[in-house]
Amino acid sequence: MKYCHLPPIVFTQHRQRFMAHLKPNSIAIFNSNDIYPISADSTLPFEQHRDLFYLTGIDQEETIVVLCPDAKDPSLREVVFVKETNAHIAVWEGHKLTQAEATEVSGIATVKWTSAFEDHFLALAKEVEHIYINTNEHYRANVETQTREDRFIEWCKTKFPTHNYEKSNLILQGLRAVKDPEEIEHIQTACDITESGFRRVLGFVKPGVWEYEIEAEYAHEFLRNRSKGFAYSPIIASGVNANVLHYIENNQQCRDGDLLLMDVAAEYGNYSSDMTRTIPVSGRFSKRQRAVYDAVLRVKNEATKLLVPGVYWKAYHVEVGKIMTSELLGLGLLDKADVQKQTDKNPAYKKYFMHGTSHHLGLDTHDYGLLNEPITANMVFTVEPGIYIPDEGFGIRLEDDVVVQASGEPLNLMKTIPIETEEIEDLMNG
């Protein structure tokens, strides 16, 4: 891996916290992701299942972790299974973890080859009453592909139909939402790499460049800083393209007078950053562009202040909506009649700001978090308001990543990334 590993104590603590939530006489199993085929002998690059990574730090395919805190044999309370290598694999695929290396990364003393998993699990499962299975229950999940985890669950329920089946996901939603200091450091590194890319692009963008050329500049800067690349599909949207919220074609030429919305960020060590900046292609904002930009920035700044312990995610978005409504009135995009006609389900501001303001950030760009529980310290959120005006040919979104503090305003992990209009213009024209 290109990145520096987190210390194994981080993953040991993650497992301890998880197992503390299990019912007595339980076993929990987590599987790595598949390597997904494209066609012929081609595959997509491997991405580890984030839950397994959270519990082990192991970033390798065909990995399984079994947690059984009440196992009679103490050496079997934490077991990780990794793919056994051979001379052929070493030549064609490169190095795979040895058992000693798997222990060094994960902090798990008992390491076995994946080929031994079935016999191990069948023996251990007979001693327990509860089997914790790991399903994807994220509020944004929409998965049609049958995963390695799905296949295991089907097999397991066939083998042990009379066990009590429990959910791991609900536990992990709560645990993963609150970050360790070491995890925040990795997110900060991802943000710093993103900043390097953005500063590079500020000196590159001018009328006539293509969106995909800008994407390439980011990719170069990310890779040279030990990132695997983009944390998500980058949005490089010039002109009216900015009004398509998930525009990823990135195939248009930037024109003089256009604004350029860039929702693009690096990952580092499987941890995501998430940034949006909007800049003038010509290097100067028009009066109207600047007025809308400043309104979005004020909303972002005020919304950030609201992310404090005890606040509920849904209530937070209601308050941000009030702030946005005020700004839209000031811009002449809404009038008092629009506000009077609005409903709770259809607020007036949604005509120009149709997405949410914040989401959890971490191992996934849209990370785990229990939305019906109050916000707590050390949660990491994005703050990303936007105003989109197709009739005027532009849209503006601004986004930073912040860490909720025990008291006071959140810590902005992107505080050094240029965002004020004057600084952006100076850097683009300097």
Angle, helix 8-19 to helix 99-106, in steps of 10 degrees: 70
- 416 confidence band (pLDDT: 50, 70, 90): very high
Q: Note down the domain range covering 82.
A: 8-177
> For residue 311, how many other CB atoms are within 10 A of its CB?
15
Residues forming a β-bridge with 285? none
Q: Are residues 76 and 111 in the same domain?
A: yes
3-state DSSP of 217-239: HHHHHHHCCCCCCECCCCEEEEH
Q: Are residues 132 and 215 in the same domain?
A: no
> For residue 135, how many other CB atoms are within 10 A of its CB?
15
Which phi and psi (to 5°) does residue 259 adopt? -95, 155
3-state DSSP of 307-323: CCCCCCHHHHHHHHHHH
List strand residue ranges (DSSP E) for 123-232, in order: 130-133, 164-167
The answer as to whether 304 is a domain residue is: yes
Read off the pLDDT of residues 224-269 as tens digits, 9 standing for 90 and up: 999 999 999 999 999 999 999 999 999 999 999 999 999 999 999 9
Is residue 154 pLDDT above 90, yes or no? yes
**Half-sphere exposure of residue 287: CA atoms within 13 angstroms, side-chain side:** 0
Decide: helix, strand or coil at residue 40.
Answer: coil
Q: Are residues 149 and 198 in the same domain?
A: no
Q: Are residues 198 and 215 in the same domain?
A: yes
Q: Are residues 187 and 163 in the same domain?
A: no
The answer as to whether 3 is a domain residue is: no
The total number of structural domains that make up the chain: 2
Which phi and psi (to 5°) does residue 82 adopt? -125, 160
| Residue 73's CATH number | 3.40.350.10
d(CA 230, CA 252): 20
The answer as to whether 49 is a domain residue is: yes
Q: What is the pLDDT of residue 255?
A: 98
Q: Are residues 295 and 209 in the same domain?
A: yes
- 87 confidence band (pLDDT: 50, 70, 90): confident
The token duo for 321 is 């909506």
Against a cut of 0.85, is the pTM above it? Answer: yes
Read off the pLDDT of residues 136-152 as tens digits, 9 standing for 90 and up: 999 999 888 999 999 99
Q: Which of 187, 195, 192 is nearest to 270 (CA)?
A: 187
d(CA 298, CA 391): 23
Read off the pLDDT of residues 48-62 as tens digits, 9 standing for 90 and up: 999 999 999 999 999
